[in-house]
Structure 1
Amino acid sequence: MTNGIEQRAYWVPLKRYRLLAERTLDIACLHFLNGNYEYVSPASEKVLGYHPSELVGKSPFDYIHPDDAAEVEKKTYLALKKAEAPTQSRVKYRYRHKAGHFVWLESYLMPVLDQNEHIVQLQTNTRDLTALIEAQLETEDAYEKLQHIIDGSSDLIAAIDQEFRFIAFNKAYKAFFEHLWGREPQVGGNYVQFFEDAACSLNPSMQAWRRALSGESFVRNVAYRNGEESNHYKIRYNPVNNSKKEIIGATYFITDITGEKVQQQKIEQQQLVLEEGEKIANMASWVWDVETNHIDYSDQLLKVVGLDAGEVSGLSIFEKCLESRVLKADYNKVLFAIERARQQHGEWELEYRIQLPGGGVRWLKNKGGIWLDDQRVLGSTMDITAEKEAVLKVGRLNRRLKKKINELEEKKRELEKTNNYLDNFVHATAHDLRSPIANLNQIMELLFMTYSEEEPIFSQLKSSVERLDRTASGLIEIIDAQRIENNSIKHICFDSCLRMLKEEMAETIAARNACMHAQFDVASICYVAPYLESIMRNLFQNALKYASPQRKPIIQLHTMMEDGYVRLSVQDNGIGINLQEAGNRLFRPFKRFTDQAQGNGIGLHLVKSMVEKNDGKIEVISQPGAGTTFYVYLKPYCIND
Structure 2
Amino acid sequence: MRLSNPKIGAIDTNHIRVLLLQNPNDDNIAIMEQLELLTDFSFQLEVAMHEVDYKSLLKNFKPNLIISKLNLVHFCGKKALTLCKVFFTEIPFIFISDDYCYDTSLDLLKQGTDDLIQKKNLHELPASIYKALRHSQEKNLIKQVKQKRWEDSQRYKGLIEHSHEPVIAYNEAGIISYVSPAIKNVLGYTQEEFIGTQVESYIHPDDLIMRTKKLNNLIDKNDNYFVIKEERLKHKNGHYIWGEAIISDARLSPGIGGFVTNFRDITEAKLNRTKLEKTLKELTDYRVALVESSIVAITDTEGFITYVNKEFCRVSQFSEDELIGVNLIDNGENDEEIALYSEIKSKISSGEIWKGEIQRTAKDGTRFWVNGTVIPFADTNAEIYQYIIVMQNITERKRKTQELKTSLDLVYAQNDQLLNFSYIVSHNLRSHASNLSTIIDHLSDCESEDQRIEMTGYLKEVSNSLNDALQNLNEVVSIQSNKTIKTEKLVLLEYVQKSLKGLNKLVLHGQIEINIPANLEINFNKGYLESVLQNLIQNSLKYKHPDRDPKIEISAVKHLDGAILKIRDNGLGIDLIKNKDKIFGMYKTFHGNKNALGLGLFMTKNQIEAMGGSISIESEVNVGTTFTILIK
Task: Place the TM-score, normalised by the shorter chain, in its bin.
Answer: 0.3 to 0.5
Q: With the length of structure 2 as denominator, give the TM-score of the two structures.
A: 0.34
Q: With the length of structure 1 as denominator, give the TM-score of the two structures.
A: 0.33
